Amino acid sequence: MLPALMLVATLAGQPHDATSPYLDVVLRYGPGHEAESIAELGALGLTTPDQVFAELDDRVCAAAGAASCEPRSLVNAGRDARERVDAQWRRLYPRALALHVEALAAGDPGRDRAAMAVHRRVLLRMAVRLEQISLEPGVPDDFVDLARRGRRLLLWTLQFLQDEPGLAEAIAGFTAAKIADAELALARGLLEELRALPAVVAASPKGQSLYSGLQRATLIASEGRHHQEAALRIYLELLAADPGVLEAHLRAGQLLAQLGRPGEARPHLERIASLGPDRRQIYLSAIFLADVHEQQGRLVEARAAYAAALRQWPGAQVPLVALARLRLLDGAVEAARATLEGLYVERDLRGRTDPWMGYIGGQAWRLPEAIASLEASFEPLP
């Protein structure tokens, strides 16, 4: 606590055009300097978002001659002052956004829980703040784009961390700020899926051993189904408003299959191919469609779907194991064994990936490309 108080006192005592420890870290952040910048940010010992916004907003606006960052105050300060503020925000906000995202994603919940909570609150406030700035008259289009990026980066990072409380807090914050888009709806659905996960696992035969009695397992299974059905309703409502949201088709189809409604799942999964998916989405829709075929007794179609998935993602284990299982059910023991040959060789495992393993992380798979794209937009420093 003492280092944080010293930081606040130091910042409060500096003139607004003086060097700022926080802004120095923000400006040093960039491609190739991520790890050292995260370490330097951690060394500042931030304990509240107010410390960040005293620098990003208050210091910047005061240096430009405005009494505050309120729109009326900036108007009163004059056009030159507003242009200076916009120029500084254009330098600082993208870097600060990416830095706090990376610091949050790199945190260890067991060791860095308090620091991660600060980063999460900073990012939520930053995303809402960017939204507010983007709505002001005469604001350049890049602020509108940055507001959208900020929302998505926070939601995707919390999905990567599978942080249920954090994701709920972010969704509530964006909802209170009257922000609504497809990514927010997808995040709401994923939150319900995350809430269902412990219940579904606990209701499995292995999970039941952790609880006392069949009644407890039945209650847990019912709770899991409740959250799955809530997630499904969110995805279907999103699709009713925008039928082109591919990820909503994917997740709705998978949930319908899990809930024992394969006939309703199939159109969603088959629709994906017509919506221009990437390899990950083609792969996942294929293994989900294979499950639908199995539930409906179409084993030939199921094998074809698993084989199609394997062609899209040759390193994946799910379709290999599924194909081996189906061949074993057919009595083709040697064919099943051949399918699995080499699957568990250590040198082979190191190069294997499988999008299914990250499926519960929602849109987190988009994070690396999104951060790289944001870094590419940084204005060069003088």
Is residue 382 one of the residues assigned to a domain?
A: no
131 and 218 share one domain: no
Is residue 223 one of the residues assigned to a domain?
A: yes
195 and 155 share one domain: no
Give, to the nearest 10 degrees, the angle between helix 79-105 and helix 141-161.
20
Is residue 281 one of the residues assigned to a domain?
A: no
The total number of structural domains that make up the chain: 2
Is residue 264 one of the residues assigned to a domain?
A: no
Residue 215 has which token pair?
Answer: 């009644």
pLDDT in tens, 173-221: 999 999 989 999 999 999 999 999 865 444 444 443 444 444 444 445 6
pLDDT of residue 221: 66
Boundary of a domain, candidates 144, 162, 179? 179
Task: Please indicate whether residue 243 or residue 273 has the higher confidence score (pLDDT).
Answer: 243
Is residue 211 one of the residues assigned to a domain?
A: yes
Quick one: CA dihedral 277, 279, 281, 283, positive or negative?
A: positive
pTM: 0.86
Alpha carbons 107 and 102: distance in angstroms, whole number: 9
13 and 160 share one domain: yes
Boundary of a domain, candidates 215, 242, 269? 242
Alpha carbons 114 and 162: distance in angstroms, whole number: 17
Cβ contact 356:318 at 8 Å: yes
99 and 129 share one domain: yes
79 and 134 share one domain: yes
Is residue 251 one of the residues assigned to a domain?
A: no
Is residue 310 one of the residues assigned to a domain?
A: no
209 and 68 share one domain: no
3-state secondary structure of 73: helix
Work out the burial of residue 42: count CB atoms within 10 Å of its CB; fewer than 13 is exposed, 13-18 middle, 19 or more buried.
middle
Boundary of a domain, candidates 195, 212, 242? 242
142 and 111 share one domain: yes
Alpha carbons 103 and 122: distance in angstroms, whole number: 11
Alpha carbons 12 and 3: distance in angstroms, whole number: 14
Name the pLDDT band for 136 (thresholds 50, 70, 90).
confident
Q: Which DSSP letter does residue 364 get? A: G
Alpha carbons 194 and 164: distance in angstroms, whole number: 7
Pick from 303, 277, 274, 276: nearest CA to 291: 303
Range of the domain at 185: 180-242
171 and 189 share one domain: no
pLDDT of residue 207: 41
pLDDT in tens, 228-263: 999 999 999 999 999 999 999 999 999 999 999 999
